[in-house]
Each structure stands twice: as structure tokens, then as C-alpha cells.
Chains A and B, each alone.
Chain A
């Protein structure tokens, strides 16, 4: 049962991967269209990626807590 729960938590990573890929693709489009704005786009992109990554980190923490505390 716990194993299934951990697997479900892992599904959150799918959304995060899709979102990060989407954001990077859009940023690349923006840079290709306007190369002089690359610095600003980079900064915002890294910030957004960090915030998206925190969702992945939350599922990691939930999985770890399930494994080590609920078992």
C-alpha cells in the first residue's frame, strides 16, 4: 500500500517535467526572437525553474517521509 502511495507521489514529477520543458522552450523562443534580452529572460527563467523545482522537491519530501516515517 505504501509503495503504491510512493508511486502516486512520483506522478507529480511528470507535471513538473512537462512544465519545466515548456518554460525552457518558451524562453528559447524569446531569446531567438530577441537575443539582446537574453540576460533578463535567463534570470526570470532560472527563478521560475527554481519555483517549479520546489514542487518536485515537495513530492520528494513526501515520498521520503512516507518511506522513513510511516513504514
Chain B
């Protein structure tokens, strides 16, 4: 077992632990913090089912963003839809035998990688060129794009420039899942790719990537419009009612 294999294996266990634990703690924090007042952005759905539909529109179609700015919407859809397909394509490294629909996804996953990189490039260009977006950008916003771009380009490089031994890679990945470590091919592009992915997993719970769980907990989007019919009082506010009507 090479040092490299051990280092990357441990790195991915650590990254997974940070990602899962970090997100779980954050989600618990979001979920347990009370929402003392009804603040849905109106008009809002009047039923739970309506809220599910509204949320689906936001998460799958980026509805509000569409109303806001077509350029950001197009670039964001390119990036996110591309990333989603790419992730599905990568499932093949972690399952054996490969599920039928994952096989079907494979060719689309390649195009999706280009879409993802193109989306990222566009979003990054906006961050530099549009004065309003430049003003609100911090170094971390550029770094996040660099990280994702690095992942996308190193991945594409392995497909189109310096192909890596994906049979051995799959053995390594399955080995991680099955706690039966197998050697990792020492290709530079692969090492860069995997290193950046681990970095992304580690920063996820401590960065703006929290928009992923955050959107589901956004009171302006997830509340039912029923304030007149249903009274809700946050636990910390109950005591305020003690003195009234006296």
C-alpha cells in the first residue's frame, strides 16, 4: 500500500466525516431555531402541498432567480444541472454492478461537464466584469469558483487529455466504501481532482455552500400563508403572554 493511497484514503474518510457531521449539525441548528413570526414572501401558498410545489420550483427551476436576472439564471442552471449530471455519472465509481439508469446517464455526464465549466466561467466573468457583483465579492467567492473550476477542468483533462486508469480508480473507490483499501493510480490530474473534491467537501459546512440546506429552511419560502387561521407562538415568546388580560 503506497503512502499516497493511505493519505488519500484517510483524506476522504476525514472529508466525508466533516461534510456529514458539519451539515448534520448545521441542519439541526436551522431546524431547532424557532421562526417566531410568519414572514412568507407573499403571495404564498395556503397549503403544505403548495409550499412543496413552491420549494420545488425554487430548488429545481430557480424560479425567483429567473424572475430576477436571466443571465445569472442561465449560468446558474448550466452549472448546477451540469454538476448534478456529473455527480450522477460519478456514481459508477461507487457501485458494482452499475445500475441501469446510471449507465444511461454516462454520455450525458460528459456534455454536462462542459456545461458546468461553461456556467462557472460565466459566473466568474460576471463577478469580475459587472461592477455591482464585483463590489459584493470577497476573495472566498473567487476561491470557491476556482475550486469548482479546478475540479471540472481536472476531470475533463482525465477524459480528454491524459486518461487515467479508471478500472484501478474504481477499485480504489469501492475499497473506500467497503473498508478494503486498494491502490490509487498516481496520475497528477487525478490527484489534483480528488484533492480539490476533498477540499470542497471539507469547506462545504463552513461556507456559502450552506445555501444548499439553507434554502429549505428559508421562512420566506417554506411557510404556509395561514397566519389568520393558525396561531403559533415561539417557545421563547410564550412568557410574554403571562401578564395580559389581567
Say whether A and B bind each other.
no
Q: Which residues of A contact B (CB under 8 A)?
A: none
